[in-house]
């Protein structure tokens, strides 16, 4: 996870970083991130799964206290981030928002993304 000079979360090497608080998906502001297709897809699907998407500054403290955290990138679309510095984020397992987003994304592209990722790992 990368930070800007003010200590705000920006992104990860090769992926965007998001947190979930309640029914809100929070992205870092576009001031310090590269906006990608995967991040745009999360924004577009948010309302489909009953969530709000906002862009605002947040810091590692907010990550540790989030309900969920996600990574987005072209190769895998969406991945859960369950710990930071060995501290669990939320329950320390992929959360319900992640499951809903991954299902919505799979439906959008017409294939089971999780199955495809698991097949690639095998």
pLDDT given for residue 32 in this prediction? 87
- Number of Cα atoms under 13 Å in the Cβ half of residue 70: 27
Measured torsion, CA atoms of residues 80, 84, 86, 90, in degrees rounded to the nearest 10: -60
Q: Could you give the angle at the alpha carbon of 62 between the alpha carbons of 67 and 84, nearest 5°? A: 75
Q: How many domains is the chain built from? A: 1
Give pLDDT tens digits for 17-68. Answer: 999 999 999 999 999 899 999 999 999 999 999 999 999 999 999 999 999 9
Q: What is the CATH classification number for the domain harbouring 29?
A: 3.20.10.10
Element (H, E) at 59: none
Query: What is the mean predicted confidence (pLDDT) over 76-98?
Result: 95
Share of the chain above pLDDT 70, in %: 98
Range of the domain at 54: 11-121
pLDDT given for residue 121 in this prediction? 61
């Amino acid at each position: 996870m990368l930070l800007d000079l003010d200590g705000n979360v920006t992104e990860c090497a090769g992926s965007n970083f998001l947190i979930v608080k309640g029914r809100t998906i929070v992205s870092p502001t576009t001031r310090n991130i590269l906006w990608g297709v995967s991040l745009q897809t999360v924004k577009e699907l948010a309302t489909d799964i009953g969530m709000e998407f906002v862009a605002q500054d947040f810091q590692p403290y907010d990550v540790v206290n989030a309900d969920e955290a996600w990574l987005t990138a072209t190769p895998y679309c969406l991945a859960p981030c369950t710990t930071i510095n060995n501290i669990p984020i939320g329950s320390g397992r992929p959360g319900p928002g992640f499951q809903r987003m991954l299902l919505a994304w799979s439906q959008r592209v017409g294939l089971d993304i999780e199955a495809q990722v698991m097949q690639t790992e095998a």
